[in-house]
Amino acid sequence: MIPDHSLRSLPGEPPSTIRLSEEAGRCVACGLCVPHCPTYRKTLNEADSPRGRIFMMAALLEQRLPLSPEVLHHLDLCLTCRACENACPSQVRYGWLADNMRAWIEPQRQRPAGQQRLRRMLFDTLRRPYRLRSTAWLLRAYQASGLQQLARKSGTLAALGLERAEAQLPALPKNRPLHGMHAAPGTPRGTVGLFLGCVAQLTDASTLGAAIFILNRLGYSVDVPHAQTCCGALHQHNGATGTARELADDNRRAFGSPALEAILHAASGCGATLAEQEPSLPAPLLDISSFLSQAQDWEQAQIAPLQQTIAVHEPCSSRNVLHDQNAAYQLLQRIPGASVMPLHGNDQCCGAAGSYALAQPAMADLLLRDKIEAIKVSGARIIATSNPGCAMHLAAGLRAEGIAIEVLHPVYLVARQMGYEHA
Ligand code: SF4
Ligand code: SF4
């Protein structure tokens, strides 16, 4: 059956209660999605399954169910991983429904004033990535000065309620200027745009630098527009769909150059959000690994061998939304000697899911535990994943257990084998 895209909201317009009810009404309660749902598999509670959640959403919309803390708990526990969508014969657009239901619920929700302020501050900071960049030096100084160890040992972080968020923070790479035009030497094969994301500019700048390095080596000039902003994923999944639409407009304008033959992203979470925005970006949007695995002129690239097993963690955004999870394998197979394998349990979310690991720590930890066990039995010394949020979550889990296994973006790993150093 062809999905009914007429239910999609028009740009700038939130969906009506009727539209939401229509989408929820497409669920025929067959239950085929239920065993695929990570939260249901952990709790075995129907209210934590896609079918149970859709039932609750329909009842809320029809005012047959009050918006109780218990209902909110079951809805909030959803990861928006969208494993249920792939299993659904009625093609219920669960992601669309979940995002827009959160926006529908938000005005009715009683949040403590402190939480409301924090939420506004976070949303506001993400839409201005230059603010994040300007705090990077402070965080680097915190990590390099020994203050981090002191704060961790002294219990200060726990007292401030920052222990979990701080534990997710990777060692921040050097701040290398990324914006502007990075021209390929000689006559370029073409020009592509690079989407940076917001948090990834801080935590995964080495992957973004590596992407520019490989693209230039293969003859592509890379345009990194200054005016680009956050993809809006966090806003979209947390009831601020209006802000997400504004950010989509900003990015459409930023990437408006007609010279771009493609716009590449290096974070599948951002890519999934950008891919579903309407109207779409002005040039084809592609995952960097997809673009590179199809690119020409690899014969000229010198890739040093790596006799290692690399296990690939497939992010939900790549597997369930973009359906481009094979690209990471194809790219990594360019490394001579590397043995590339899928990480067991790739059909289940790792629990990172944007801000989920901070908002729902108990469920996030249960899901992370399964991944750490899968990594231990894999024998891999390197985990590759194309979503920086998953990478941070997995790396934090490995660090907590004292396991020295690298978690890297496939593009960074290939660039490193080509001699790239993030300096
Ligand atoms: S999006 Fe994921 S967690 Fe949410 S109901 Fe669907 S399968 Fe379950
Ligand atoms: S598979 Fe689709 S139709 Fe069946 S219960 Fe799940 S959401 Fe409803």
Could you write out the DSSP letters of every residue in 217-278? HTTEEEEE-TT-----HHHHHTT-HHHHHHHHHHHHHHT--TT-SEEEES-HHHHHHHHT-S
Residue located nearest, by CA, to atom 2 of ligand 2: 88
Q: Is the pLDDT of residue 207 over 90?
A: yes
Q: How far is the CA of 77 from the centre of ligand 1 (A)?
A: 9
Question: What residue ranges define each of the domains in the chain, with the CATH number in brackets?
Answer: 5-108 (1.10.1060.10), 113-168 (no CATH), 180-294 (3.40.50.1860), 303-417 (3.40.50)
Residue located nearest, by CA, to atom 4 of ligand 2: 30
The whole-model pTM stands at 0.91
Q: How far is the CA of 413 from the centre of ligand 2 (A)?
A: 39
Residue located nearest, by CA, to atom 3 of ligand 2: 27
Closest ligand to the CA of 58: 2
Question: What six digits make up the tokens of 211?
Answer: 């992407």
Share in percent of the chain as helix, strand, coil (round to 5): 55, 10, 40
Q: How far is the CA of 51 from the centre of ligand 2 (A)?
A: 6
Residue located nearest, by CA, to atom 5 of ligand 1: 50
Assess contact for 129 and 224: CB atoms under 8 A: no
Percent of the chain with pLDDT over 90: 75
Residue located nearest, by CA, to atom 7 of ligand 1: 37
Mutate to test the pocket of ligand 1, among 80, 347, 363 (most ligand atoms within 8 A of CB): 80
At residue 298, the 3 state secondary structure works out as helix
In this predicted structure, what is the pLDDT of residue 201? 87
In this predicted structure, what is the pLDDT of residue 146? 77
Q: Is the pLDDT of residue 35 over 90?
A: yes
Q: How far is the CA of 37 from the centre of ligand 1 (A)?
A: 5
For residue range 242-257, list pLDDT tens digits in order: 999 999 999 999 999 9
Pocket-forming residues, ligand 1, beta carbon under 6 Å = 36-39, 50, 53, 78-84, 94
The strand pair at 339-342 and 382-384 is best described as unpaired
Q: How far is the CA of 80 from the centre of ligand 1 (A)?
A: 5
Q: How far is the CA of 8 from the centre of ligand 2 (A)?
A: 19
Query: What length is written for the chain?
Result: 423
The strand pair at 285-287 and 220-224 is best described as unpaired
C-beta contacts of 107-111 below 8 A and 24+ residues apart: 108/67, 109/67, 109/72, 109/239
| DSSP conformation class of 380 | -
Q: How far is the CA of 360 from the centre of ligand 1 (A)?
A: 14
Ligand 2, closest atom to CA 28? Answer: 3
- Whether 32 lines ligand 2, by a CB cut-off of 6 Å, is yes
Cα atoms in the Cβ-side hemisphere of radius 13 Å centred on 258:
0
Q: Is the pLDDT of residue 155 over 80?
A: no
Render the burial of 190-221: b for 16+ CB within 10 Å, e for the rest. Answer: ebbbbbbbbbbbbbbbbbbbbbbbbbbbbbbb
Confidence of residue 423 (pLDDT cuts 50, 70, 90): low
The residue type found at 284 is P
- Cα separation, 93 vs 24, in Å, equals 9
Assess contact for 324 and 292: CB atoms under 8 A: no
Q: Is the pLDDT of residue 3 over 70?
A: no
In this predicted structure, what is the pLDDT of residue 9? 42
For residue range 264-307, list pLDDT tens digits in order: 999 999 999 999 998 899 999 999 999 999 998 898 899 999 99
- Cα separation, 154 vs 256, in Å, equals 50
Closest ligand to the CA of 319: 1
Q: What does the pLDDT average to over 375-387?
A: 97
Q: How far is the CA of 22 from the centre of ligand 2 (A)?
A: 14
Question: What six digits make up the tokens of 105?
Answer: 């619920």
For residue range 169-189, list pLDDT tens digits in order: 778 777 778 999 999 999 999
In this predicted structure, what is the pLDDT of residue 72? 97
Question: Which residues does 17 contact at the CB level (< 8 Å), separation at least 6?
Answer: 61, 104
In this predicted structure, what is the pLDDT of residue 7? 38
For residue range 132-152, list pLDDT tens digits in order: 777 777 777 777 777 777 777
- Whether 30 lines ligand 2, by a CB cut-off of 6 Å, is yes
Ligand 2, closest atom to CA 31? Answer: 5
Of all helices (H) and strands (E), which one includes residue 206? Answer: helix 205-217
Closest CA to 330 of 284, 291, 303: 291
Q: Is the pLDDT of residue 240 over 80?
A: yes
Owner of token pair 């790219």:
331
Q: How far is the CA of 52 from the centre of ligand 2 (A)?
A: 10
Q: Is the pLDDT of residue 8 over 60?
A: no
Q: How far is the CA of 8 from the centre of ligand 1 (A)?
A: 20
| DSSP conformation class of 199 | T
- Cα separation, 179 vs 129, in Å, equals 12
- Cα separation, 408 vs 310, in Å, equals 10
Question: What six digits make up the tokens of 321?
Answer: 């939304």
DSSP for 127-159, please give it.
T-HHHHHHHHHHHHHHHHSSHHHHHHHHTHHHH
In this predicted structure, what is the pLDDT of residue 403? 97
Closest ligand to the CA of 50: 1
- Average pLDDT score, the chain: 91
Closest CA to 241 of 109, 359, 98: 98
In this predicted structure, what is the pLDDT of residue 352? 96
Q: How far is the CA of 94 from the centre of ligand 2 (A)?
A: 9
Residue located nearest, by CA, to atom 6 of ligand 2: 33
Closest ligand to the CA of 55: 2
Residue 279, preceding peptide bond in cis (omega within 30° of 0): yes
For residue range 85-136, list pLDDT tens digits in order: 999 999 999 999 999 999 999 999 988 888 888 888 888 888 777 777 777 7
Residue located nearest, by CA, to atom 1 of ligand 2: 88
Ligand 2, closest atom to CA 91? Answer: 2
Assess contact for 374 and 342: CB atoms under 8 A: no
Q: Is the pLDDT of residue 11 over 60?
A: no
